[in-house]
Chains A and B, each alone.
Chain A
Amino acid sequence: MSANHVVPLRVYFAVFITLLVMTGVTTWVAYIDLGVFNPVMALVIATFKAVLVILFFMHVKYSSKLTWLVVSAAFFFLGIMLTLTMSDYLSRAWPMQ
């Protein structure tokens, strides 16, 4: 799949620095009161970091469509599990007609 593609070292270093910086950012932001956006920011930053690792360290950017499909499928079904489970918990308090 991505077997023969050699990623340029500067890409690795750029991703590495970005990951460290974003770790600092997420820690710093946690101490600022953003109300409901604190967890949102935390998850956005974590997702961004994860996407960088997936695309560049794990070479998915240079891999076949099948690899993309496997990665997407995994997160899709995780999303199903989280969403449908939460649909129960969040609607328990809703009033009945």
Chain B
Amino acid sequence: MSTALITPAPTMPRDNYLNNGYGVRSWLLTTDHKRIALMYLVTITFFFFVGGAMATMIRLELLTPAGDLVSSDTYNKLFTMHGVMMVFFFLIPSIPTTLGNFLVPMMIGARDLAFPKLNLASYYVYLTGALFTMYAVISGGVDTGWTFYTPLSTSFANTHVIATAVGILIAGFSSIFTGINFIVTIHRMRAPGMTWSRLPLFIWAHYATSLIMVLGTPVIAITLIMVALERGFHLGIFDPARGGDPLLFQHLFWFYSHPAVYIMILPGMGVISELVTCFSRKRIFGYNFVAFSSMAIAVFGFLVWAHHMFVAGISTYAAMVFSLLSYLVAIPSAIKVFNWTATMYKGSITFKTPMLYVFGFIGLFTMGGMTGLFLAALGIDMHVTETYFIVAHFHYIMVGGMVMAYMGALHFWWPKITGRMYPENLARLAALIIFVGFNLTFFPQFILGYLGMPRRYHAYPPEFQVLNVMSSAGASILAIGYLLPMIYFMWSMRYGRIAGPNPWNAKGLEWETTSPPPTHNFAETPIVTEEAYAYGTTTAEVQRV
């Protein structure tokens, strides 16, 4: 990290991971975690757009009260495939497989993950699962909802349930392999001096996420296997005619799928900790609290799943227990929000694009989280469950939270990954468009849900049309907001300003090496002597940003 006042224009490093070997085989058979991360990036972006296409159709249908664009069966398929694609093939992999794969070894000073070949296998397993599911999409789709409730999915649906279930469970193993890799890497491959209390919070977040991946995903794997066996071989585990209990499926499904939503937010929270410190030029407020809150979220997240089943027919006493536990799980998330805010207080804030996404995340995640507290109250949940209130709640967290964090992360680490800067003003405009589009899309849905509009219906009473039109209009703006980065990121790879090793003057081992990094990350193993986020501690720090 240079402390000179005048620096020469940075140049691209001569040898880096991108030009270390050319040709399709050097990429498809790579074991370099950075190349694998890029392969994931391309693939999940593809599935983001597939899921987005489904969403486009949904919002187009909902422009008018009548179910006139598509039939109800087709509509069922659209929201099902939207959910399946977005949850399992975009959001759950998103940050961990792209930025996690790229940065976890670098942030701890390692040359690669603990099991590089397992990492590559993880990618191909994911791809296989995705192909099974794409086959289901192309050959007619699935209409059970991404939640696959029985006995619809096991006995009555006449769509490609088995193919989709198998695709998801295969992709689940990709998740498990990634989780194993991260856990072992973080335990065993930290550089000298990188103690647990000096780890970047991005690492803590990925460690917690990996715990959930390893302990939760097998449960949905076995559950989907049971669904597939029941459908294919007529076992009777969930069939009411033979005594099967549909609620048991829901218990098992949500035992994973609730912790899964924490897989879909914890990495984003780790990103925010990295970004907020860099763009406030200040160490994180309450490092221990933020680190342990990630672990608390991972553990508590396993205790609350039946809050998805309050109206399904579980016992009232169990519902009360899960309601209480659901309130408790909000506490660590709140701790993080308070600590990020306190980090910004009296910091030296710059409004670069990643920081704009931080502001978006903190505001929108807080709204999503608070509406989650409304839902934890049994009385309110009775009223708004299965309405658009729920849809708005989880989109605020998943899109307003996680996707914003993902966008912020892509912008922040883009120079490290590619060696080039993105166009700052255009990026700030895109962030603004995304923020406006997002709120216009989803805020009306809170109101719609509270007024009683049910979810998963392709037609609705005419009095809901105005809010639906607003929501669809917002969706089109949001789409533009997401397309812009696609375009300028690709533009930047050829024409972007060369970034140099540390364009943000950020702390972190990943900024101590070239941009793009060499294949083995560091010329020599780094030795860590200071805590994370030691901003403002050296006397001659000059901002080059």
Contacts and interface: CB of A to CB of B under 8 A. Distances in A.
B306 interface: yes
B314 A92 contact: yes
Interface stretch (A28-36, A43-51, A79-87): A79-87
Interface string A9-43: 00000000000000000000000000000000000
B545 to A, nearest CB: 41
Interface string B241-252: 000000110010
Interface in A57-78: 66, 73-74, 77
B388 to A, nearest CB: 27
A96 B187 CA distance: 49
A77 B187 CA distance: 21
Contacts of B305: 84
Contacts of B315: 87-89, 91-92, 94
A73 B306 contact: no
How many residues of A sit at the interface, in one of the four size bands? 10 to 19
Given A80-B303, A81-B255, A84-B303, A73 B317 contact: no
Interface string B297-323: 000001101100000001111100110
B219 A91 contact: no
Contact of A94 (B187, B306, B314, B317): B317
Given A85-B251, A87-B321, A77 B302 contact: yes
Contact of A81 (B187, B219, B316): B219
Nearest to B219: A81
How many residues of B sit at the interface, in one of the four size bands? 10 to 19
B28 interface: no
A85 B321 CA distance: 12
A91 B215 contact: no
Interface string B316-341: 11100110000000000000000000
A64 B341 CA distance: 40
B219 A88 contact: no
Nearest to A74: B215
B170 to A, nearest CB: 22
B302 A91 contact: no
A87 B318 contact: yes
Nearest to B248: A85
Contacts of B306: 84, 88
Nearest to A88: B318
Given A77-B302, A80-B302, A81-B255, A88 B215 contact: no
A67 to B, nearest CB: 11
A81 B304 CA distance: 11
Contacts of A94: 315, 317
B318 A91 contact: yes
Contacts of A88: 247, 251, 306, 314-315, 318
Contact of A91 (B247, B251, B317): B317
Contacts of B211: 73
A92 B306 CA distance: 14
Contacts of B255: 81, 85
Contacts of B248: 85
Contacts of B251: 85, 88
A81 B301 CA distance: 12
A29 B403 CA distance: 58
B242 to A, nearest CB: 18
A80 B215 CA distance: 11
Contacts of B215: 73-74, 77
Nearest to A85: B251
Contacts of B314: 88, 92
Nearest to A81: B255
A88 to B, nearest CB: 4
A91 B321 CA distance: 11
A94 B302 CA distance: 25
A46 B251 CA distance: 26
A28 to B, nearest CB: 32
Contacts of B317: 87, 91, 94
A33 to B, nearest CB: 27
Contacts of A66: 187
Nearest to B183: A70
Interface of B: 187, 211, 215, 219, 247-248, 251, 255, 302-303, 305-306, 314-318, 321-322
Given A84-B305, A87-B321, A88-B251, 16 more contacts: A66-B187, A77-B215, A80-B302, A81-B219, A81-B255, A84-B303, A84-B321, A84-B322, A85-B251, A87-B318, A88-B318, A91-B315, A92-B314, A92-B315, A92-B318, A96-B316
8 contacts: A73-B215, A80-B303, A81-B219, A84-B306, A84-B318, A87-B318, A88-B315, A91-B317
What 4 A-B pairs are tightest by C-beta distance, nearest first?
Answer: A88-B318, A91-B315, A92-B315, A91-B317
